[in-house]
Amino acid sequence: MKKVVFITGATSGFGRAAARKFASEGWALVITGRREDRLQALQAELVETVPVFYKTLDVRNQADVQQLVEGLPDPFNEVACLINNAGLALSPKPAQETELADWHTMIDTNITGLVNMTHALLPSLIKVGEGASIINVGSIAGQWPYPGSHVYGASKAFVQQFSYNLRCDLLGTGVRVTDLAPGIAETEFTLVRTGGDQQASDALYANTQALSAEDIANAMYYIATLPPHICINHMEVMPTRQAWSPFAIHRE
């Protein structure tokens, strides 16, 4: 029986790359996201290689999450790896200039959605036991503050602490938990964050070499396939061309 990986936010970026990576290694897939056309296209691309089950899903809706998990057919109902990838950033402006609705959207997606998904799949992961993995996609923003990060960075700090605390609770079950925290990566992330501003997205990635979605997918696969006695608690991944800056100082 093939191992099953459940991927949220599989319609683009890290999630889509992860689906392709795990499929290439023979894992069965459960892929979810909010754009059905993209899920259908990804299933059509991969289904000749491995079993693929897809379902449109907004992880913010707890009832829909629970219904999906409880209704997973064989062989998709024994999930060995959960990749909590669904998430977003909005309003890269100072906190005092942002809309409260954008803050709520980030909290509801990055925190509530991740919690909904994790709680629903814990029974399956614990049943699989030794070697099962939860990979929560955090961010360097959860560790290192910067202007315009406000609620996004705070939500990713939650992801880190939730991962650590979940790891404590799951001690003895064999289930591993990892906070995977990427740095700058060239995906649709910035387009979403800027409300579709292609020029802003292009400018961010110009004349440098960011991480790719495939880089992070490879890291996910590495984490999920380590020997069962090894758990990576936190993996922070930056491109070589990204580093920290000095503290900002306001001067009169």
Catalytic annotation, residues: 152
User: Biggest alpha carbon distance in the chain?
Assistant: 67
32 with 108: CB under 8 angstroms? no
Cross-strand partners of 234: 179
